[in-house]
Structure 1
């Protein structure tokens, strides 16, 4: 294991990594007081080297980002979403040629997302100590045991990937899994967040029309992104629930429902915008009409029950996690609103489950 904290170490060792066909990747980051994850370490493991890049060492990381852009190198993560988010926030680089062992496991019969420690134990009979998972990764110097913990989170990824591929085999599921890895839906959302501007907060009607019923949470989300602070600092879920329930129609009523320490009250201009959103959403016809559509008919309930049962049957036969095929929310949305945008009506999910769902309507 090498700690990469100088430019020479980085460039010399990244030459070795750049010649590999497959590497394991993990990150350590902090986000207690920020919306975006702030990278502390990036762990890179091949069959010949184990590296920990100290992001706080003020290095020129260009050679590292080139590795993530290199489509000839397969990057193996476990539960890659937050790792990719942290890398993207720092570099504007989206890693390509990615394999996620958590998703791979869900194509091998696991009925829910599995932790890294659990899959390592199940496949390799190795027990990992996760006591340091929530360490203070932003502080320096890091203790030796923290580096050891960090490298273990990447050390077994290549072996896991090979074992998962053997179990899946070269059949239809393999093509489905490849399709899943080629189009992570969250990537476009990351890019959209980075493009966000303060002026977007002023489109009150768009919040109501585009985020029908969730416009307050969406406004909070966007403000958290722009200020780079956690959502709960802006406004708590409890406060949003109270606003929804009480439906305040003037600023004094709204003030009583929001804690004086909430960030939303610190900026008069932003608070005025939020108040206008609250008052507009209380009377907007889109939301009034939405209330009348929330109840399912008896026929719709029966269809949903049938689809739930069929989903379990299909996922069991295919040895694929049911939640990756279709979520309960998507099934309800499809039946209630005939929404063609649900995930199981596209790509490999359509072949596995969507065709049958359409026949049921």
Structure 2
């Protein structure tokens, strides 16, 4: 059923609010903009699938009420991006989420599966891939697009139940349900602070001191500019250009021509602002210069810990990636942070016997 009015949406949400669980998905276009353009929201309630048209329904706050309803489980596949888009569209922070991709990792050796692959492996359903690059902002949507959109939610409730049954059979269901609380954190759906974006730029670990302040100023400026103009970051100034600007620190407009990949058009439009950022960074007081990015050297103990995690995960038939990444283990060996997720909840339970081997607990900082 196609939902194109606020009244229809409110009626649908009233029905969905009486269910224990509903399935959600989104279709969007994200090509030449900073923010994705939401084209469709799919909602499965019981055996029925509904397609909500956000181009026709301008006020999606009723959908936000459902997303924020703690009594209704929202089932999604690879949930984070969809939930972030829905938070932007509705203003509501999601709670009570079940991610079928993440959940599958608690009853199989991998949690890195597309929805199509997951459906084939769990319930033997093959999805057509004909509409993966469709323009979801066009109207009317074709019949094939409508069918494709329905398929993305119609099987999710069945898959969730199957995953929970399998996890219960191997006694990992409590870990699975605990991990789903991850999606209840409102901070997960917030934009990174512009002042912190510089830490996501490749090569930041090689930059220190005053030049790190320069990179921070440049990245912060670009982040604010991209958001205000709703254009991709690379359409303003590419990451590589920011890094080259940081190393060369041009002080005059004419010097900008020596910066790799900085186009004449970008110099014309943004040259003065770029020079101002560089000047601000170079003149920042030493006490206000950001701490350099910590990129720890490879620790020999890391390989041992990763092997022990993989071996135990294989015995339990869960995805070792869920416990922690190689970089996360390596970083913990250096920082020994008492707030590490290795020391909390189900991960601590998983790691307990590993902590007791070869002083690994001490190496990771468990005794701190």
Note closer, same or farther for the CA distance 1:277–1:108 as it changes in structure 2 (3 Å cut).
Answer: farther
Post-superposition offset of 1:315: 1.9
Task: Provide the rounded CA distance (Å) in 1 between the counterparts of 2:4 and 2:191.
Answer: 32
Note closer, same or farther for the CA distance 1:279–1:164 as it changes in structure 2 (3 Å cut).
Answer: same
Q: TM-score, normalised by structure 2?
A: 0.80
Post-superposition offset of 1:238: 3.2
> Contact 1:37 / 1:89 at 8 angstroms: preserved in 2?
no
**Residue of structure 2 equivalent to 1:61:** 60
Note closer, same or farther for the CA distance 1:97–1:109 as it changes in structure 2 (3 Å cut).
Answer: same
> Contact 1:36 / 1:228 at 8 angstroms: preserved in 2?
yes
**Residue of structure 2 equivalent to 1:358:** 361
Note closer, same or farther for the CA distance 1:95–1:253 as it changes in structure 2 (3 Å cut).
Answer: same
Task: Provide the rounded CA distance (Å) in 2 between the counterparts of 1:21 and 1:92.
Answer: 23
Post-superposition offset of 1:294: 5.4
Note closer, same or farther for the CA distance 1:262–1:49 as it changes in structure 2 (3 Å cut).
Answer: farther
Deviation sequence 1:12-47 (CA, Å, 0-9, x none): 333322221111110111221222222111111122
Note closer, same or farther for the CA distance 1:253–1:347 as it changes in structure 2 (3 Å cut).
Answer: farther
Deviation sequence 1:68-121 (CA, Å, 0-9, x none): 122111110000111111111112112211100000011112324111000001
Post-superposition offset of 1:305: 1.5
Task: Provide the rounded CA distance (Å) in 2 between the counterparts of 1:189 and 1:273.
Answer: 32
Deviation sequence 1:313-332 (CA, Å, 0-9, x none): 12212322122211111112
**Residue of structure 1 equivalent to 2:251:** 250
Note closer, same or farther for the CA distance 1:153–1:309 as it changes in structure 2 (3 Å cut).
Answer: same
Q: TM-score, normalised by structure 1?
A: 0.81
- Paired residue secondary structure (2:137): coil
Post-superposition offset of 1:48: 3.2
**Residue of structure 2 equivalent to 1:236:** 238
Deviation sequence 1:48-69 (CA, Å, 0-9, x none): 3210000000343332222112
Task: Provide the rounded CA distance (Å) in 1 between the counterparts of 2:116 and 2:126.
Answer: 7
Deviation sequence 1:262-287 (CA, Å, 0-9, x none): 76863466423432466579x99978
Q: Comparing 312-321 with 51-60, which one deviates more in the overlay?
A: 312-321
**Could you say what the CA RMSD is over the residues aligned between the two structures, in angstroms?**
3.5
- Paired residue secondary structure (1:176): helix
**Residue of structure 2 equivalent to 1:275:** 278
- Paired residue secondary structure (2:22): strand
Post-superposition offset of 1:186: 7.2
Task: Provide the rounded CA distance (Å) in 2 between the counterparts of 1:52 and 1:324.
Answer: 33
Gaps of 5+ in 1: none
**Residue of structure 1 equivalent to 2:201:** none
Q: How does 1:296-335 map to 2 (within 5 A)?
A: 296=297, 301-335=299-333
- Paired residue secondary structure (1:127): coil
Task: Provide the rounded CA distance (Å) in 1 between the counterparts of 2:321 and 2:131.
Answer: 30
Task: Provide the rounded CA distance (Å) in 1 between the counterparts of 2:156 and 2:328.
Answer: 31
Q: How many corresponding residue pairs?
A: 344
> Contact 1:43 / 1:51 at 8 angstroms: preserved in 2?
yes
Q: How does 1:1-361 map to 2 (within 5 A)?
A: 2-169=1-168, 173-184=172-183, 187-193=186-192, 215=216, 220-221=222-223, 223-243=225-245, 246-248=247-249, 250-251=251-252, 252-257=254-259, 258-260=261-263, 266-267=269-270, 270-276=273-279, 279=282, 296=297, 301-353=299-351, 356=355, 357-361=360-364
